[in-house]
Chain A
């Protein structure tokens, strides 16, 4: 195995790994500061913050020969015997000078800058900068301009790392951003008439190491040091991008992509990024309600029902109605789907189980950098189908459920949702008008509400805990980032109580139970890493 020596510490790297000095030093626990380098973009070696000293240890004699000048860590590959020095006086002086140079023209308007608190320029200044400012220049004011519908550019805060420019060229493939002018006067800009409006545009804000690119959706909404972050999974489409939900006091402020080499690498799409606003939509269904069968269609109001009462009365209502059909929404987690199916079969052993409606908008869209936005706009179809297969209801679709209802084979229906956008038309909803009991559990009212006898709220993606299985059969487990609004029991909590289980809803316990009883989910028995587990590979291994 090749050995790299980082500040005297020997570390082994993989024989066929191609690492640069920054990555190799990270393995040894040494952070080499850098601005322009990003693992997902090409190397330009222009910020010069990662300058280090390197050398080569002769394999035979053990003698170390150092390169007589500083080299950029991002651009220098390591091999067996590479010596990296990240802490020498020369290196420290060089970093201090780069920090000083970057701050010469920087407005230093941290008090009004949204990036303050998570800004590399700030962090590196405190770690590597000089205590005193030698440049007696008054910086510019903070000029800003729109570069696209979602992004504002604070021109003078920019340190010209060109990560954003490279992103639009290499990953999005749209090349809206460019560099204009020369030398210290150069700026990032868009081509006239071509705003930054591609579907991945929001990533340039994440890439920006300083406060130059601001996300209009987040700008001035919250100080970053108030934000707490929870590892989540985006529910916007079947890709299931790993994200961080950043929130404060049960309010989501923004979503950020979470690095996951198996799913989304470093990126996420704008649709997912801004797709959290429905969580705080005042139109959400916020309490459980019930009305008599004959009151349907008359716009009679639902009478509020206490949750403790829902647990018992829902079961008795459905039992009374007779033959049950259940739509298991692809927005439910695997755990929720499994508990729901169990409840349904305990009410009616012959209950007809089928997946809920799967929203599709267009085809999958793959970008030059390999990132794909899926046309299937729900996060857990694979997981729900896997659960249904356990209940001998595999291979079905939403259409099968509609046909089952249309054929008069059901007396009651339980339709779960969680759909952030309208998903059902009046005609389809009308098919449920004749049933004795219709339970609608969704985020928002839909045409189906008119025919409902029970109207139950659903949880949004950040309010759920459990497991989703994405389009590539990768299962990712997550905790709830925020609590559901007051009065809302997330599905998991309701089902847990309906099953008569004690204590707080514990998705991990349910997950273990599923894994024990099902070969398809056997991989979920132990701890699931943050990047998730590929269910298929685990199945292959176990067979």
Chain B
């Protein structure tokens, strides 16, 4: 494998790398000044489109294309929302960027606002990141002082204010319309789409929601050029006209049972095995991996034999996972019970389901309670069918929910039971030797007495 010099993470380890002085010494803000001085918003959109940049937040939607969905000649205001509600289990790449190189993010925000003609940007930060909060606020203050934010930036007439908003610790606020509702001061119940935020978003105005890492990528594309960006990663499949390719560097969050967990930058398309072996120093304690989560637990599970799957936007889908997600790779070693994993996953989603749509609200809670019962030695083989049915019917893809949270809850369930059914059956038979085979309907409910 060719050595890859980190770009997005180039400030990591640099003393005072988070300050504006350090950032400018690395060439930062120069592309912004050049852009503001001589280019049109359409040029920036064209640049991002040409780079093939796909959103780093999870769904991998082409960023430039998203921007073009904004209505033309809209009188404004248009808003840019930066999603830093990084709550997908296993994910911490936004945190590294915000803590160690906040100006890279801010430059990306300014460029993106310029491109989308937004004069207000909201940065929605998850509550649990106090260091990011301090670093970002300090960086925003520095940018104001240096004249990169505020009215009439660098004398070009372009104005931008960035508001740093701390969320209140809810996973659902990372869903783009949930984030918008939360910013509006409401309960973060994702909205019905359409209308999509680009048409009617924050305060019912056209809105773009982008991830922190996407912003950093925009800054780097402006600095290093489209060709540099396109030279990295996996080109589009010529046989699939709908594949936009997976270009550019990506931050992979490696955690779980590896020797050296951490956030590593690599070209898109690195395989999970390469990532674990070369960057993570292998599975810890000399063990073998049983399963690997490709990009946050919502994305499902890859088995050991699927580890050679490239971690680009198309790769994990080929082995039955939901997608690349946030590229948070979590390694599960062969000493870990997959039942425990699924229970933990179900507990997370039951806790974080916003409760709006019936299938997700009740499905996540029911699956958790089934798994609790299995863990308590009262499981039945029939339960696996129920879990699988829940996994297959819950979510935006079958059409039973408004947002994708339920898909995220469903995928680990589906993957775990399909790929590790033997282990589930063994566990149930071992822990419930007298009742595992029961298939009778559950006895009638006890009628509740007068209250």
Contact = CB atoms under 8 A, between A and B. Distances in A.
A and B found bound together: yes
A159 to B, nearest CB: 7
A102 B358 contact: yes
Interface in B76-110: none
A71 interface: yes
B420 to A, nearest CB: 22
A134 interface: yes
Contacts of A309: none
Contacts of B189: 44, 46
Interface string A117-140: 000000000000000111111110
A330 B81 CA distance: 60
A122 to B, nearest CB: 14
Interface stretch (A57-65, A103-111, A248-256, A389-397): A103-111
Contacts of A186: 355, 361
Contact of B353 (A48, A178, A184): A184
Contacts of B397: 69
B401 interface: yes
Given A101-B363, A144-B451, A134 B354 contact: no
B59 to A, nearest CB: 17
A433 B12 CA distance: 100
Interface in B345-396: 350-359, 361-366, 369, 373, 386, 393
A183 B189 CA distance: 11
Interface string B413-451: 000000000000000000000000000011111111111
B400 A104 contact: no
A346 interface: no
B143 interface: no
Contacts of A159: 358
A186 B397 CA distance: 25
A101 B393 CA distance: 12
Contact of B192 (A45, A70, A179, A184): A45
B358 A94 contact: no
Main SS of the interface on chain B? loop
Contact of A135 (B350, B366, B399): B366
A136 B442 contact: yes
A48 B401 contact: yes
Contact of B358 (A47, A132, A136, A142): A47
A326 interface: no
B447 A183 contact: no
A185 B353 CA distance: 10
Contacts of B369: 137
A135 B449 CA distance: 20
Contact of A97 (B359, B402, B446): B359
Contact of B442 (A45, A75, A134, A179): A134
A43 interface: yes
A407 interface: no
A107 B359 CA distance: 18
A142 B353 CA distance: 23
B356 A112 contact: no
B170 interface: yes
Contacts of B373: 136
Contacts of A51: 399-400
B359 A142 contact: no
Contacts of A46: 189, 356-358, 402
A141 interface: yes
Given A183-B364, A184-B350, A134 B358 contact: no
A97 B393 contact: yes
A133 B365 contact: no
Contacts of B442: 132-136
Interface string A159-183: 1100000000000000000110111
A182 B357 CA distance: 11
B254 to A, nearest CB: 30
A183 B350 contact: yes
Interface string A427-452: 00000000000000000000000000
A182 B366 contact: no
A134 B441 contact: yes
Most buried by B among A97, A111, A182: A182
A111 B402 CA distance: 34
Nearest to B382: A134
B358 A183 contact: no
A107 B361 contact: no
Nearest to B369: A137
Interface string B251-268: 000000000000000000
A49 interface: yes
Nearest to A45: B192
A461 B198 CA distance: 55
Interface in A284-314: none
B400 A183 contact: no
A462 interface: no
A129 to B, nearest CB: 13
A160 B356 CA distance: 8
A98 interface: yes
B286 interface: no
A179 B354 CA distance: 11
A69 B447 CA distance: 37
Contacts of A107: 448
A179 B447 CA distance: 27
Interface of B: 170, 172, 187, 189, 192, 350-359, 361-366, 369, 373, 386, 393, 397-402, 441-451
Given A71-B399, A105-B365, A134-B441, 10 more contacts: A48-B357, A48-B359, A109-B447, A132-B442, A136-B442, A136-B443, A142-B448, A182-B352, A182-B354, A183-B355
